Protein backbone atom coordinates (compact mmCIF):
# COMPACT_ATOMS: atom_id res chain seq x y z
CA UNK A 1 0.00 0.00 0.00
CA UNK A 2 1.78 3.18 -1.13
CA UNK A 3 1.38 6.14 1.20
CA UNK A 4 2.27 9.52 -0.26
CA UNK A 5 2.62 12.48 2.10
CA UNK A 6 2.69 16.12 1.09
CA UNK A 7 3.52 18.81 3.60
CA UNK A 8 2.96 22.37 2.44
CA UNK A 9 2.06 25.85 3.52
CA UNK A 10 -1.66 26.67 3.57
CA UNK A 11 -3.23 28.47 0.64
CA UNK A 12 -4.09 25.90 -2.01
CA UNK A 13 -7.73 25.41 -2.90
CA UNK A 14 -9.65 22.20 -2.32
CA UNK A 15 -9.71 21.76 -6.11
CA UNK A 16 -5.91 21.99 -6.31
CA UNK A 17 -5.57 19.40 -3.55
CA UNK A 18 -8.04 17.08 -5.29
CA UNK A 19 -6.12 17.47 -8.57
CA UNK A 20 -2.84 16.71 -6.82
CA UNK A 21 -4.26 13.61 -5.11
CA UNK A 22 -5.74 12.35 -8.38
CA UNK A 23 -2.55 12.88 -10.39
CA UNK A 24 -0.12 11.50 -7.82
CA UNK A 25 -2.38 8.45 -7.45
CA UNK A 26 -2.42 7.98 -11.22
CA UNK A 27 1.39 8.12 -11.33
CA UNK A 28 1.74 5.71 -8.41
CA UNK A 29 -0.57 3.20 -10.12
CA UNK A 30 1.33 3.55 -13.39
CA UNK A 31 4.80 3.39 -11.84
CA UNK A 32 4.27 0.93 -8.98
CA UNK A 33 1.74 -1.31 -10.73
CA UNK A 34 -0.80 -1.12 -7.91
CA UNK A 35 -4.52 -0.53 -7.65
CA UNK A 36 -5.78 3.04 -7.16
CA UNK A 37 -7.67 2.07 -4.02
CA UNK A 38 -4.39 0.94 -2.42
CA UNK A 39 -2.84 4.43 -2.69
CA UNK A 40 -3.20 6.80 0.26
CA UNK A 41 -2.43 10.50 -0.16
CA UNK A 42 -2.09 12.58 3.00
CA UNK A 43 -1.93 16.37 2.68
CA UNK A 44 -0.81 18.26 5.76
CA UNK A 45 -0.88 22.05 5.84
CA UNK A 46 1.69 23.55 8.18
CA UNK A 47 1.32 27.17 9.27
CA UNK A 48 4.15 29.40 8.09
CA UNK A 49 4.91 30.22 11.73
CA UNK A 50 5.77 26.52 12.26
CA UNK A 51 8.02 26.21 9.20
CA UNK A 52 11.71 26.99 9.69
CA UNK A 53 13.89 27.45 6.66
CA UNK A 54 17.66 27.54 7.00
CA UNK A 55 17.22 27.12 10.74
CA UNK A 56 15.12 30.27 11.08
CA UNK A 57 11.44 30.50 11.98
CA UNK A 58 9.63 33.47 10.46
CA UNK A 59 8.57 36.36 12.65
CA UNK A 60 4.91 36.24 13.61
Which of the residues are catalytic? 2
CB 10 within 8 A of CB 45: yes
What whole-number distance in Å separates Cα of residue 1 and Cα of residue 35? 9
**Other beta carbons less than 10 A from residue 39's beta carbon:** 19
Amino acid sequence: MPMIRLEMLPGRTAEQKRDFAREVTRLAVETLNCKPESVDVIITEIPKSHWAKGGVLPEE
